[in-house]
Amino acid sequence: MNELLERIDRLTEIGIALSAEKNTGKLLELIMMGAKALTHADGGTLYFVKDDTLTFEIISNDSLAIQMGGTSGNKIEFDPLPIYLKDGTENHNVVVSHCVLSGKTINIEDAYHEEGFDFTGARRFDKSTGYKTQSILTFPLKDHEHEIIGVLQLINAKDPDTGEVISFNDVDQHLAESLASQAAVALTQKRLLKELQVLFEAFIKMIASAIDDKSPYTGGHCRRIPVLTMMLAEAVNNVQTGPMRKFHITNKDRYELETAAWLHDCGKVVTPEYVMDKSTKLETIYDRIHLIEMRVEVLLRDQEIAYLKACLDAQQQGHEIDDLTTQYQKNIEEIKADLEFLQQVNVGGEFMTDEYISQTHSIAKRQLIDMSGKTVPLLSEEELVNINIRKGTLNDGERKVINHHIVATINMLESLPFPKHLKNVPEYAGGHHEKMDGTGYPKGLKKEEMSIQTRIMAIADIFEALTASDRPYKKGKKLSECLKIMGFMTKDNHIDADLYDIFISEKVYLKYAEEFLEPEQIDAIDEKTL
């Protein structure tokens, strides 16, 4: 009775250990070692059911000092055992496959005298090692839905006092079956957690891909940001001196930050394509510069008609037309120059100076006769507002629309019940447009109100945007220009200076550039000037 109580206590301890173990390899070893200890077995094999076969996961034998699979580092080379024969019939010849098919425990006293099963493999093994497989206890591992997920087979029960090989008794079988039940629950829990993690990761990457696919001009942005974010995070983690020397991240921290990086722009699912894809200042559904080109053609036509009429009148009155021709040519050249200027500033690549804006206002005053016979300006008020956008291609209203994506991101992520190890995802993902001086958006946070992870993501987002060659309004800038711009942003207290120093000194920018930038973008960098 005392021995039985000790074995039950041992079973309880094993059950607790199984429920706490996170490493799959160690978990499998716990199952094997626990089963052997409970039944005094000399050896055993743990199989998993995969695609109508039984794969070897753990092989253990004390007498032969064999440990394979799990965390042992010794790979199992045996081929999986078929549960069904080539003709599709059930394979009841082998004990473990019969165990799966019947769902029952099989207790064999002596394999050399047992009929009904094929022990060729066991006898071949015995012959090659000098071992003798005698008593065998084989039982299924059933999950919470009573589905068989594996089989545990124990070999050669031993008398704890004499060491003699004996058969597995009823107590051994009951204890082993109880352990099998707990082991199946632990394995199923581990599998379900892994499947949920895989599903979650696939889901967030699907969202990121959907954002990239939504706009041909930002394709790859959501996939590049996690890479660059983690490059910088690892560089900061590795520094031993300076203001960031105390920053260290665990594997859980890495997973949380990378998840946030994948989701940092998820709010763009609500951003209209006409704003995301606006490649010129005058673009809406189409680029309205083409309308202005048509109006200019009308202006040129009107100039030609007026010139020809003036020439006809002059000839009828016997006057020369040289001055008329000179003035006509001058007018034509001015109109064409105005159109060329509008086409140039429409791209949005150059900063609109006060002089440029004054020039567009002058051009807008040109008048023409429209289809209804009304006199209209060359540029409408709305077109004039857009063509005079100081920087980029978005007007104030469109800028608010696209800036809203970060608010949408925060709202979406804060509505999700993230587990404890991912609780900071909304903060990290929602803060990559904040600035150290509090002039960023959407919350206007200052440096001391932002985590280091958030500040890391801000630098990653800016550098990726500067170097990206798939934006509608610009080409990818060279490294030297990008780093110079970011240097100015550091001086203006827009990005974290300490993190930017590490970004430069640890050559994170170069590592990223070599993987993602075009060769012509990678030019010489003098880090001292940065």
Residue 272's pLDDT band (cuts 50, 70, 90): confident
Cα–Cα separations (whole angstroms), residue 505 to 355, 436, 508, 509: 41, 21, 8, 9
Q: How far apart are CA 31 and CA 38, in angstroms?
A: 11
Distance of CA 1 to the CA centre of its chain: 57
Two structure tokens written together for 449: 């109100």
Query: How large a percentage of the chain has pLDDT more than 90?
Result: 55
Question: Exposed (0-12), middle (13-18) or buried (19+): which is 87, by Cβ within 10 Å?
Answer: exposed
Asked if 522 contacts 513 with a C-beta cutoff of 8 angstroms, the reply is yes
Helix, strand counts (H, E) of the chain: 18, 10
Asked if 57 contacts 69 with a C-beta cutoff of 8 angstroms, the reply is yes
Q: How far apart are CA 504 and CA 515, in angstroms?
A: 17
Two structure tokens written together for 402: 């696209």
Q: Using one digit for the tens of pLDDT, what is the confidence trace for 32-57? A: 888 898 899 999 999 999 999 999 99
CB atoms near residue 297 (< 10 Å): 13
Q: How far apart are CA 311 and CA 321, in angstroms?
A: 6
Give every CB contact of residue 226 below 8 A, 6+ residues apart in sequence. Answer: 258, 261, 262
CB-side neighbour CA atoms (13 Å) of 212:
18
Q: What is the dihedral of CA 459, 462, 465, 468, to 10 degrees?
A: -50
SS (H, E, C) 273-323: HHHHCCCCCCECCCECHHHHHHHHHHHHHHHHHHHHHHHHHHHHCCCCCHH
pLDDT at 221 over 90: no
Q: How far apart are CA 441 and CA 444, in angstroms?
A: 5
Residue 219's pLDDT band (cuts 50, 70, 90): low
Domain 2-193 fold is: Beta-Lactamase (3.30.450)
Query: How large a percentage of the chain has pLDDT more than 70?
Result: 94
What pLDDT, on a 0 to 100 scale, did the predictor assign at position 187? 84
Q: How far apart are CA 56 and CA 28, in angstroms?
A: 11
Query: 3-state DSSP call for residue 129?
Result: helix
Total-model pTM = 0.69
One DSSP character per residue, 315-345 reads HHTT---HHHHHHHHHHHHHHHHHHHHHHHH
Distance of CA 446 to the CA centre of its chain: 28
Residue 391's pLDDT band (cuts 50, 70, 90): confident
More confident residue, 221 or 44: 44
What pLDDT, on a 0 to 100 scale, did the predictor assign at position 267? 87
One DSSP character per residue, 40-52 reads TEEEEEEEEEETT
Residue 476 one-letter amino acid: G
pLDDT at 217 over 70: no
When the pLDDT of each residue in the chain is averaged and rounded to a whole number, the result is: 89
Q: Using one digit for the tens of pLDDT, what is the confidence trace for 359-383? A: 999 999 999 888 788 888 999 999 9
Q: Identify the H or E element spanning 149.
A: strand 148-158
Residue 198 one-letter amino acid: V
pLDDT at 66 over 60: yes
pLDDT at 264 over 80: yes
Task: Using the CB atoms, write b or e for 322-360: b if 16+ within 10 Å.
Answer: eebeeebeebeeebeebbeebeebbebeeebeeebbebb
Q: How far apart are CA 506 and CA 140, in angstroms?
A: 54
Q: Work out the average pLDDT over 239-244.
A: 94
Domain 215-247+422-529 fold is: Hypothetical protein af1432 (1.10.3210)
pLDDT at 457 over 80: yes
Peptide bond before residue 442 is cis, with ω within 30 degrees of 0: yes
Q: How far apart are CA 282 and CA 382, in angstroms?
A: 9
Q: What is the dihedral of CA 216, 197, 58, 119, to 10 degrees?
A: -80
Residue 410's pLDDT band (cuts 50, 70, 90): very high
Q: At what angle do helices 2-20 and 170-214 cross, to 10 degrees?
A: 0
Helix ranges (DSSP H) in 103-250: 120-129, 170-214, 221-238
Flag the least confident range among 145-154, 251-260, 273-282, 395-404: 273-282
| End-to-end CA separation in angstroms for the chain | 78
What pLDDT, on a 0 to 100 scale, did the predictor assign at position 472? 55
Asked if 260 contacts 453 with a C-beta cutoff of 8 angstroms, the reply is yes
Residue 20's pLDDT band (cuts 50, 70, 90): low
Q: Work out the average pLDDT over 244-260.
A: 95
